[in-house]
Structure 1
Amino acid sequence: MKVARINIRTTDGETLGLKEAMLVKDKGIEGDKNAKGGERQLSLLPLKVREDIEKEEITGLCIPRFTENITHTDDARFKEGERYTLGEAVIEISGIRKKCFSQCENIIKNKSCTLVKSVTYAKIISTGIVGINAEIQPFTGVKGKGKL
C-alpha cells in the first residue's frame, strides 16, 4: 500500500495538497490546523473512496467538509492498535470509522455511508517525513537502523 495524496487544512480552512509532510510525534502533520494531539492526529482514507466522492457517487452532510490527511492506494482494513511505518514515521491505528451527524440524510434515510466505514484514524508514534508514493507497511519493531 502506498501514499497517493497528502492533505492539510490551514488555519483559514483552505485544503492544501502536499508532495511531502512532516508527521510530528503526538501532534499530527506539521502545518495542519488539526495537529493538536489526541486520538485522531492523522486521518487515512482509501483512494477509491476519495475518487467516488469526487465523482459525487457518495453523498452526505460531511462529505464536502471532510478531507483526509493521507489517501492510500489500498482498500486494506486496519485494526485498532496496529502499528505501521508511514514513510519515515511510525503510526498506531487509534480509531476505525468516522462518526456521523444525526442530521445527515444517510442517517435519516437509514442509508449506509461508505465514508463513515472507510475512515481510519491514527496517532503518530515517531516523527518522520512522508511523501507521495511512500510505503505504508506493518511496523516490525525496528525503525531504520535502530529501534523506536
Structure 2
Amino acid sequence: MKGKVVAINISERKGVPKKTIVQGMFRTDHGLEGDAHAGNWHRQVSLLGIESIEKMKAIGIEGLCTGKFAENITTEGIALWQLPVGTKLKIGETIQEVTQIGKECHTKCAIFHQVGNCVMPTEGIFTKVLKDGIVKMGDEILVLEEEKVL
C-alpha cells in the first residue's frame, strides 16, 4: 500500500490549526522538531488524509485546508484509520509506527469551533518516530511489512 505526503504542518501551541511548511525534521522518540505535540510519548506525530478533509468540504464546511485539523502530516492515498496499531510506515526518510487510531475529544478545541466538526477523532492517526529523517511535501508513504523494518 502506497500513499504520499500532501503537506507537513506545524504549530507552537496545542489545539490550534497548524501552518504548512515545505519540509520537517522528525526525530526518534520526539516527533516533528518545533511542534507543540512533539515529545517522548505515544502521540508524537498526527496524520490525516486529504480525503477526510475533502469529505468535510463536501458537506459544506468552508475554509478547510491542510493543517486545519492540527495534523502534522496530511496524506493522500491511504485509509489511515484502517491501519492496525503497530503498523510501520516509511514516510520520507523516516520510519514511524502507528500507536493510536483516532482520539477522544474531551473539549471542543479551536479547530472544532472554527470548522463546526472534526474528523481527527475518527479518521486521524498517531505515530511515534522510530528512525530520524526529513519528510517533504510529495514524499512517498509506504506501509512496511514487518521483515522490511528489521
Q: For this structure pair, what is the TM-score category when the shorter chain's length is used for normalisation?
A: 0.7 to 0.9
Which whole-Å CA distance do the structure 1 matches of 2:120 and 2:108 have between them? 16
Q: Secondary structure at the match of 1:2?
A: strand
Task: Work out whether residues 30 and 129 of structure 2, in 8 Å CA contact, stay in contact via their aligned partners in 1.
Answer: yes
Match among 15, 25, 29 for residue 28 of structure 2:
25
Structure with greater helix percent:
2
**CA positional deviation for 1:33:** 1.7
Q: Secondary structure at the match of 1:101?
A: coil
Match among 5, 8, 11 for residue 6 of structure 1:
8
TM norm structure 1: 0.75
Task: Report the counterpart of residue 122 of structure 1 in structure 2.
Answer: 127
Identify unmatched segments of 5+ residues in structure 1: 59-63, 105-111
Identity across matched positions, percent:
30
**CA positional deviation for 1:52:** 3.9
TM norm structure 2: 0.74
Matched, 1:101 2:125: no
Task: Work out whether residues 17 and 69 of structure 2, in 8 Å CA contact, stay in contact via their aligned partners in 1.
Answer: no
Task: Work out whether residues 90 and 139 of structure 1, in 8 Å CA contact, stay in contact via their aligned partners in 2.
Answer: no
Whichever of the two has the greater Rg, that structure is 1
| Bigger mean CA deviation after superposition, 64-73 or 25-34 | 64-73
Identify unmatched segments of 5+ residues in structure 2: 62-66, 110-116
**CA positional deviation for 1:35:** 1.0
Amino acid at match of 2:76: T
Matched, 1:138 2:143: yes
Which whole-Å CA distance do the structure 2 matches of 1:113 and 1:67 have between them? 10
Task: Report the counterpart of residue 108 of structure 1 in structure 2.
Answer: none
Which whole-Å CA distance do the structure 1 matches of 2:129 and 2:48 have between them? 16
Aligned residues: 133
Distance 1:43 1:57, change over 3 A: farther
Distance 1:67 1:55, change over 3 A: farther
Matched, 1:82 2:84: no
**CA positional deviation for 1:14:** 7.0
Task: Work out whether residues 3 and 72 of structure 1, in 8 Å CA contact, stay in contact via their aligned partners in 2.
Answer: yes
